[in-house]
Amino acid sequence: MSRDDVAAGIDAHPITVSKLISGKMKLTQDWMARFSTVFGVPPEQIITAPSATRIVKVRSHVEAGAWESHSEWPEEEWYSVAIPDDPRYRTLELFGSETRGPSMNRRYPEQTVLVHTSFIAAGERLEVGKRYIVERERPDGTRETTVKTLSRDEDGRLWLMPESTDPRFQAPIPIDDDVEAVVRVVGRVIYSVQRED
């Protein structure tokens, strides 16, 4: 239903509808009653229906083997995805990152959006079997931002494991003493969004 359709249904100008929706004009009981007739819901649902989704901005990428100064995109390249509004994460800021390359292609095809927490802000503990956005930083300041699955070996040592069909991305990365780079856990992946081709 378009704005013009709604305007005709409530006997108002389309600009009035825009002002009512944006909050620039007061939504009185009379207006709610008119809207309720058009949408076929009780007047109280016009302003109280909770959303079952949450919008997350996708503003960076993760790509194993890509060493760069940063992975965040210019703001004009950001886009949004909707995920379920999970009560466990309502108080946390969530972040979206798009996968590039084949380093986790058994689980996440290229251009999958990974929605993740901030590991520090969430106050989380590492959990074996969960997938994490991790950053590896070299002494020259370049960083590789990637996604890996946390694993523990029989000696209790933690490893970041790729899930890839590509032999170049099948080596595990030690989480505590990588000689090539300092490893930081950025956040835990809580949702993935991918397009079906």
Domain identity same for 61 and 107: yes
Same structural domain for residues 95 and 147?
yes
Predicted confidence band of residue 142 (pLDDT cuts 50, 70, 90): very high
Same domain, 125 and 74: yes
115, β-bridge pairs: 96, 191
Structure-block tokens of residue 26: 């007061």
User: Can you tell me the mean pLDDT for 180-191?
Assistant: 92
Q: Report yes or no on whether pTM surpasses 0.75.
A: no
Residues 144-165, mean pLDDT to the nearest whole number:
94
Express as a percent the part of the chain with pLDDT over 90: 60
Count: domains in the chain: 2
The 10s digit of each residue's pLDDT in 102-118 is 999 999 999 999 999 99
* CA dist 69 → 78, 82, 106, 140 (Å): 18, 29, 27, 9
Structure confidence at residue 178 as a pLDDT band (50, 70, 90): low
C-beta atoms surrounding 195 within 10 Å:
8
The per-residue pLDDT for 61 is 96
- The CATH number of whichever domain residue 100 belongs to comes to 2.10.109.10
Return the pLDDT at 51. Answer: 66
Domain co-membership, 10 together with 97: no
pLDDT for residue 107 = 94
State the residue range of the domain holding 44: 3-48
φ/ψ region of 122 (left if φ > 0, alpha if ψ in -120 to 50, else beta) reads alpha
Asked if residue 58 and residue 128 are part of one domain, the reply reads yes
| Same domain, residue pair 141 and 158 | yes
